[in-house]
Structure 1
Amino acid sequence: MLGEPAAMTENTGDTPRTLRLRADDNVAIVVNAFGLPAGTVFADGLTLLEFVPQGHKVALVDIPQGGTVVRYGEVVGIALRPLPRGSWVEESSVETPVAPDLDALEKATRVPAPLPPLDGYTFEGYRNPDGSVGTKNILAISISVQCVAGTLDVAIRRIKQELLPRYPNVDDVVGLTHAYGCGVAINAPEAVIPIRTLQSLARNPNFGGEVMVVGLGCEKLVSERLLPAGDVAADTGVVRLQDERHAGFGMMLDSIMTMAEARLEVLNRRTRETCPAADLVVGLQCGGSDAFSGVTANPALGHAADLLVRCGATVLFSEVTEVRDAIHLLTPRAASPEIADALIREMAWYDDYLAKGGADRRANPSPGNKKGGLNNIVEKALGSVAKSGTSAITGVLAPGERVRDKGLIFAATPASDFVCGTLQLASGITLQVFSTGRGTPYGLAHAPVIKVATRTELAERWSDLIDLDAGRIATGHATIEEMGEELFRLILDVASGHKQPWSDRWGLFNDLTLFNPAPIT
C-alpha cells in the first residue's frame, strides 16, 4: 500500500469533501458525486476557484509554473502554468514526469519482512493429478488455428445441448479460440509468446488436465504442440478436420463430440474437496480506472493480496505499462536482486517493444481514465501498483509463462483488459479480482471474476454487475483493512462455489485475446 489517507473532510450529507493521501501531497481529490462548484469552502478554509469534477485534483497550496504536483507522495506532474490554491489541476495544466531510469533502480534494498502466517483458511476446490487446484470444473477445447473456430462454436453448442446435461458435475464447455495459428511468422523469436500462451492456457487448473485440440491439418502451428509434453499420439487429443476419415461436416462434428464425451466422463468424476487457501492462484487486474482506484479499490485488493500471501497462496499482478512509471517502488521490494533484475528485464523489453512500434507509453490513459481524474500514466501507475499490497515480490513471469512459485508474483502482460486476462489465465490463475472506477462488464468464462467498484456511485448504479463496493473507503464508512478482509472472505466463498460473481450469474464473458508481438506473414 502506498499510504493511507492522511486527511479527509468529515462525511456528513453534502458536506464538501476532499481526500488527501499523504501529508506531503500538495493536491487532494474531490470526493463528492458530480463534483463541486466554484466558491465551495472546505472546513480548513480551502476555497475552490473553479468547478472541480468528482475525482479530480484541487491544489492545496500555490504551485508555481515548473513546480511539482505531488500525489501518493510522488511527483505526478510538472505545472505548465501557475496553479493557485483552490484551482483545478486538470490534464492540460501539467506535464508528465520522466519515467524512472531502469539503470538506476534500487534492487532488493527494502525487502518487506514476512508477515505472520495465517493458518486454517480453506476453500472447496477441485484437486488435479498434478497437485494444482481449480475453482471450476470446465472442459476446455483448444484450437490450433483460427480457421476451425467456427466449427468449434457449432460443436460446443451441440455438446452443451446433447452431452453436458448427462454430466452434472461439469460446469461448462468452453473453446480456447483465437486468431493465431497460420499466416504468421511461426519461427520468429517473439512467436514464443502466443505459442507459449496457448500451451499454458490448456493447462489451467480449472480445466482438470483434460486437454483436447481441434485443428485443421495444414496450419503452421501443428496441433501436437498444444498437447502436454509426452502426449504425442495425435489420436488421443487431436481432431483434425482435414483427416480423410471425415466425409463432410457432420463427421467432423461427430469426432469432436466423441472426444469431448470421453473427457466429460473424466471431469464428471471431479468433486470439490477442502483445500488450504495456499492452493489458490488469484489474479489482480484493473480496468476503467479513475482517481479513486489507487485510493479505495486497489489498496483493498492489496490488503487482500497480503492476506492471501500470508496463507501461502499465489497472487499475480500485471500490466507492464501501468507499472513502468512506478517501478522504482517495486524493485526495492523484490525478494532478491535476481528478481529485481527480472522486473527490470520485463520493463526494458516492453520499452523496446513500444519503441519499435513508434508508440508512446504516455498515450495509455483512455478518455475515461482522464474523465475520472487521472491526468497521465504516472498517476495511473501509482494507483495501479497499490494492488500489489506490501509483501515481498517473489517471482516474475514472462508473458504466458506458467506460475510455479508461491507468494506475490509479477506476471508481465500488456495493460489491455482482455490481453491481460488471457495471459493471467495462461499463467494459471483460477480466480480473478478486477477493480474498476468507470465501470466495465468484463468477465471470463474460464475463471470467476470478482468485480470491485472504486466508487459507491458506480456500485449502486451497476448493482447487478459490481460484486463489492470499495467506495465506502472514500466516504469513511470502511477502512482499507476492513474492505480487504471482506474481499478476502469473498474470494474464499467464490472459489468454493458458495457465491457466484455477477459475471457468472449473467454468463457475461469476454473472448480470449492473444498477445502476439511477432510478425504476421
Structure 2
Amino acid sequence: MQLIEHSDSPRYIRLHERDNVVIVVNDQGVPAGTEFADGLVTVDFVPQSHKVTLEDIPEGGQVIRYGQTIGYALQPIPRGSWVKEDQLRMPTAPPLDSLPLSTDVPAAQAPLEGFTFEGYRNADGTVGTRNILGITTTVQCVTGVLDHAVKRIKDELLPKYPHVDDVVALTHSYGCGVAITATDAYIPIRTVRNLARNPNLGGEALVISLGCEKLQAGQVMHEDDSSVDLSEPWLYRLQDSSHGFTEMIEQIMALAEVRLHKLNQRRRETVPASELILGMQCGGSDAFSGITANPALGYASDLLLRAGATVMFSEVTEVRDAIYLLTSRAENQAVAEELVREMDWYDRYLAKGEADRSANTTPGNKKGGLSNIVEKSLGSIVKSGSSAINGVLGPGERFKRKGLIFCATPASDFVCGTLQLAAGMNLHVFTTGRGTPYGLAMAPVVKVSTRTELAQRWPDLIDIDAGRIATGRASIEELGWELFHYYLDVASGKKQTWAEQHKLHNDITLFNPAPIT
C-alpha cells in the first residue's frame, strides 16, 4: 500500500481482486456523498473499519471479502452503501467430511540462521524467557491462603533474590465439586499439570493443596516427570497444619525460599531463536485485524519458523469457518485429520449447549466492522502466516515438536492464554483493534494494535502499532521483521512489554467441559 500524504483524504482498502466490498481507513469514517479517488461515492455515512460496496449487490448476492464469501445479501445493497450486519445471511459452516487434506502444502522456506536470544535453560531441554517461581494449587479452597502467602513472599523474600523475576500463584476454580472421572475431565486436569511445567517456571513449581479434594497432588506432579524438580519438598497440605493459618503461611514461605534460592542461581545464556515458543492470539478484533496486525504476525511467524522456532495459533471458533484453508496446508494427511478432529469435537461441544460458532462474535467486533464469524475467521487465520502446519494440540496438551502448531482452544482470551501456557508457550503476542489491557503473569505479552488511533490513545498499553500498514507508513514485511526482532529482545529481557511494566495480568482460567457436581 502506498503512503497517502493527506490524512483527511477518503481512503479504503481492498484485499483481493474478487472483493466487492472495501474497508474505510479514515479515523472518523467518511460521510455520505464522499468520493474516493477511483470515483466510488458513498451513499451513507460509513464508520472507520466498516465495509462499503463496490458494486450493486442484488438480494441473495454474495458479499465477498478476502476473496471469500462472507455472507449473502438479504436485500439489494446499492454501490457505495454501508454494509451492515443485519443485511447479511451468514453462510453455513464448511462441512468437515469433504475438506481438502494436505493438498496444497507450502514448500519450506530458506532457513534463517544466526538469530539468538538470552534465555534460561531448563533441565528438560526447554528454555524460559523469564525466571519465575510458580506456586500451583489443587483446589480453589486454598486460594485465599496462597494469595496471602504470595504477598508476603514478594514483600519479604523476593527482594533477597534479585535474579528471580516474580512469584506467581497459579490459582484456579477446579479441584473439588467436580466430576473428576467424567469423560472430559482430563482437559482441566492436564491443564493444571502442564501449567506447572511451563518453561518460564524453571522446573521449580510448588503445589499447595487442601488435602481432601478430588484433584490430588499426585495428579498435578508426577514422580517420574523430568520437567519439575522433586528432589526438594514440593507439596504442602493445609489440612496438615496443627497451628492454623500462621503455620500455613510460614510453611509455604519456607518452601518458597528453598526454590527462590535455586532459581536465583540461574543466569541467562545465549540460545538459538529455535528455543522460542510463541503463542499468538487476537482479542477485541475489528475489520483491520486481518489487514494490519494479523498479517504482520503471520509474516513474523514465517520468520520464526525459518529460524526453527515453535509458533502456536489457536481459537477453534475463529478458524472453523476458514478450516478448508488450513487443512490443505497441513504437512501430511494425519495433521489435517487432527485439525478436523478438533473442529468436530468443538462443534459437538457447542451443540450440547445449544449454541454454534456464531455465538463467538461480540458487540465490539461488530462495532469494529466485523459482520459475522465467517469474516472474523478469515482475518484471524492470517496470523498463521504461509507455512505448512506441522502439528495439532488438544486443549491442555503440552507441545511435542517444533514448527507451526494449531493449539485447539476456545476463543475466550483468558482460556486461550491459559491453554497456550499449558502447551509450553514462553512468549505471547496479542493483537487488538478495540483495545484490551489483557496480560499474563507467567509470560510476557506483546500487544499489537490494528489501528494507529488505538496506539495513540493507549500509548502505555500498546507495544507495536500495526495501523501503520493501513496508512502506508510501513509494509507487512517491515512490520513482520520489526516484530521478529522485538520478540527476541523481549524474550531476552532486554525489553519489557507495557503489560509487564504495569504488572497487568488476567486470572488463570481453566477450560472445563466436564460436569460440576
Match of 1:161 in 2: 155
Moved over 6 A (4+): 231-235
Structure 1 pair 390/136, CA: closer, same or farther in 2 (3 Å)?
Answer: same
Match of 2:314 in 1: 318
Pair 1:440 & 2:436 matched: yes
Match of 2:272 in 1: 276
Q: How many residues align?
A: 514
State which of 234, 246, 256 in structure 2 corresponds to 1:250: 246
* Counterpart code for 1:339: V
Pair 1:475 & 2:466 matched: no
TM score, norm. by length of structure 1: 0.97
Superposed, 1:106-505 pairs within 5 Å as 106-230=100-224, 236-243=233-240, 245-505=241-501
Preserved CA contact (<8 Å) 1:182 1:220: yes
Q: Percent identity at matched positions?
A: 65
State which of 68, 83, 92 in structure 2 corresponds to 1:89: 83
Q: State the SS of the aligned residue for 1:140.
A: strand
> Deviation digits for residues 271-305 of structure 1, max 9, x if unmatched?
10000000000000000000000000000000000
> Deviation digits for residues 16-69 of structure 1, max 9, x if unmatched?
000000111000010001110000011111000011110000000111100000
State the alpha-carbon separation in 2 of the partners of residues 404 and 267 from structure 1: 25
Pair 1:71 & 2:65 matched: yes
State the alpha-carbon separation in 2 of the partners of residues 192 and 289 from structure 1: 31
Deviates more, 1:425-434 or 1:250-259: 250-259
* Counterpart code for 1:239: Y
State the alpha-carbon separation in 1 of the partners of residues 231 and 329 from structure 2: 46
* Counterpart code for 1:465: L
* Counterpart code for 1:198: V
* Counterpart code for 1:132: T
State the alpha-carbon separation in 2 of the partners of residues 228 and 116 from structure 1: 40
State the alpha-carbon separation in 2 of the partners of residues 457 and 439 from structure 1: 11
State the alpha-carbon separation in 2 of the partners of residues 328 and 492 from structure 1: 32
Preserved CA contact (<8 Å) 1:11 1:475: no
Q: How far off is 1:164 after superposition?
A: 0.8
Unpaired runs of 5+ residues, structure 2, are none
Structure 1 pair 248/353, CA: closer, same or farther in 2 (3 Å)?
Answer: same
Q: How far off is 1:265 after superposition?
A: 1.0
State the alpha-carbon separation in 2 of the partners of residues 375 and 288 from structure 1: 14
Q: How far off is 1:10 after superposition?
A: 4.2
Q: State the SS of the aligned residue for 1:152.
A: helix
State the alpha-carbon separation in 2 of the partners of residues 207 and 257 from structure 1: 17
* Counterpart code for 2:358: R
Preserved CA contact (<8 Å) 1:9 1:19: no
Q: How far off is 1:230 after superposition?
A: 2.5
TM score, norm. by length of structure 2: 0.98
State the alpha-carbon separation in 2 of the partners of residues 138 and 191 from structure 1: 28
Q: How far off is 1:211 after superposition?
A: 2.3
Preserved CA contact (<8 Å) 1:246 1:252: no
State the alpha-carbon separation in 1 of the partners of residues 207 and 123 from structure 2: 20
